[in-house]
Amino acid sequence: MLLGVNIDHIAVLREARRINDPDPLDAVSLVKRARADQITIHLREDRRHINDLDALRIIENSQLPVNMECSIDEEIIDTVIDMNPFRVTLVPEKREEVTTEGGLDLIKNFAKVEKISKRLSDAGIELSVFIDPDMFQIKMAKSINAQWIELHTGLYSNIYAMLFSNLKNSPHSIKELDLPRNELKTKLENSLDELKESALLADELNLKVAAGHGLNYQNVKNIVDIPKIIELNIGQSIIARSVFVGFEQAVKEMLELCKK
Ligand code: PXP
C-alpha cells in the first residue's frame, strides 16, 4: 500500500500564530526518510493553510511525488498547472467547511472537469478525482480520462468514530449519526461494502484507486484490507500523533499499519 502524507496541518499550526514555524517544507525530507511514498498538499482557494510559496517550495524541493489537491475553480487550476506538481487531485471546496466534505460531483461538473482533464494531460500532470464511493461517479471519472480516483472514506471514518471512540458524547458528536449501536454497526458494514464495490469497479475500468479522509491508527486496517485500493492519503491523524511521538515516528507507525 502506498502512503501519501498530507502535511496541510503543519501549515494549520503555523497559521494559528501567523508566524513562520512550523514550516511544512521541513516535513518533506522526513516523509522520505520514514519511507512513505508521496507528499499531499491542498492549495485552498482561501489559502487558509498551505499558501502559494509553500506549494512552490515543496514541489521544487521534494524528492517524492507531490499530489496537489485543489478545487475546480479556473484561477486555482491556472496557478496549480504553473506549479507543475506530479499529480492533481480535484476536490470540492466550500469556504465555510472545516475540511473537505463529500466527494466532487463529476456529473454536475462534467464539462468543467473534462476541460481541466485535457489541460492537465497537455501539461503532463496526472489527474485524480476525489469522489464518493458511487458507481456513477466512478464511470464518470473514467469518461473524463482520470488516471486515479480517490475514494472518500469520510462517512466510514465518522461512523467508526461514533461507534468506537468517545466522539458520541463529545461536543463534536455527529448529529445524523447519533444512532443506536446496532444501526451504526450496519451502517459501518454498508459503508465498507460500498468502498469495496467501488474499488472493484474502478479497477475493472483500469482506474488506479486511492482512498482517504478521516483515516487514523484505529480505523485504517479495514481500508488497507480492501482489494484494489493501492494508496492512502492521510493527514490529520499523523500530524496529531506526531505531537506526542515525533513526525517521522508517526509516519513510520502509519506505514506499518498500511502493510497489506
Ligand atoms: N484526501 C483528500 C482528497 C483530502 O481532501 C484530505 C483532507 O485534506 C485527505 C485525503 C486527508 O484527510 P485527513 O486529514 O482526514 O487524513
Name residues whose C-beta falls within 8 Å of residue 118's C-beta, 6 or more positions apart in sequence. Answer: none
Q: Which entry of 9, 42, 49, 152 is annotated as an active-site residue?
A: 42
Cell of 235: 493527514
Nearest CA to ligand 1 atom 9: 213
**Does the pLDDT value for residue 121 go beyond 90?**
yes
- Ligand 1 atom index nearest CA of 213: 12
Which of 70-84, 160-174, 189-203 has the weakest average pLDDT?
160-174
In this predicted structure, what is the pLDDT of residue 95? Answer: 59
Residue 233 CB less than 6 A away from ligand 1: yes
DSSP state of 209: E
In this predicted structure, what is the pLDDT of residue 45? Answer: 93
Best residue among 100, 137, 152 to mutate for probing ligand 1, ranked by most atoms within 8 Å of CB: 100
In this predicted structure, what is the pLDDT of residue 173? Answer: 86
9 is catalytic: no
- Ligand 1 atom index nearest CA of 100: 5
The stretch 48-74 carries a mean pLDDT of: 97
189 is catalytic: no
Average pLDDT of the chain, as a whole number: 95
- Ligand 1 atom index nearest CA of 236: 14
Q: Which domain range does residue 236 map to?
A: 2-257
Distances in Å between the alpha carbon of 49 and those of 7, 20, 22, 90?
10, 12, 12, 17
Task: Give the closest residue to 188 by CA, choosing from 217, 165, 171.
Answer: 165
Return the CATH number at 116: 3.20.20.70
Residue 157 CB less than 6 A away from ligand 1: no
42 is catalytic: yes
Q: Which entry of 49, 213, 231, 248 is annotated as an active-site residue?
A: 213
**Does the pLDDT value for residue 179 go beyond 70?**
yes
How far is the C-alpha of 239 from the C-alpha of 245, rounded, in Å? 10
The stretch 58-82 carries a mean pLDDT of: 97
Give how many domains the chain has, as a whole number: 1
pLDDT by residue (tens digit) across 129-148? 999 999 999 999 999 999 99
Radius of gyration of the chain (CA): 18
Could you give the 3-state DSSP secondary structure of residue 249? helix
In this predicted structure, what is the pLDDT of residue 98? Answer: 64
**pLDDT-derived band of residue 41, with 50, 70 and 90 as boundaries?**
very high
**Does the pLDDT value for residue 197 go beyond 80?**
yes
How far is the C-alpha of 158 from the C-alpha of 60, rounded, in Å? 35
The alpha carbon of 205 and the centre of ligand 1 are apart by a number of angstroms equal to 24
247 Rama class: left (phi>0) / alpha (psi -120 to 50) / beta: alpha
Q: Give the DSSP per-residue string, 115-158.
A: HHHHHHHHTT-EEEEEE-S-HHHHHHHHHTT-SEEEEE-HHHHH
How far is the C-alpha of 122 from the C-alpha of 115, rounded, in Å? 11
The alpha carbon of 238 and the centre of ligand 1 are apart by a number of angstroms equal to 11
The alpha carbon of 98 and the centre of ligand 1 are apart by a number of angstroms equal to 11
In this predicted structure, what is the pLDDT of residue 207? Answer: 98
Sign of CA pseudo-dihedral 240, 246, 248, 250: negative
Q: What predicted TM-score, i.e. pTM, was given to this entire model?
A: 0.95
pLDDT by residue (tens digit) across 7-16? 999 999 999 9
The alpha carbon of 154 and the centre of ligand 1 are apart by a number of angstroms equal to 9
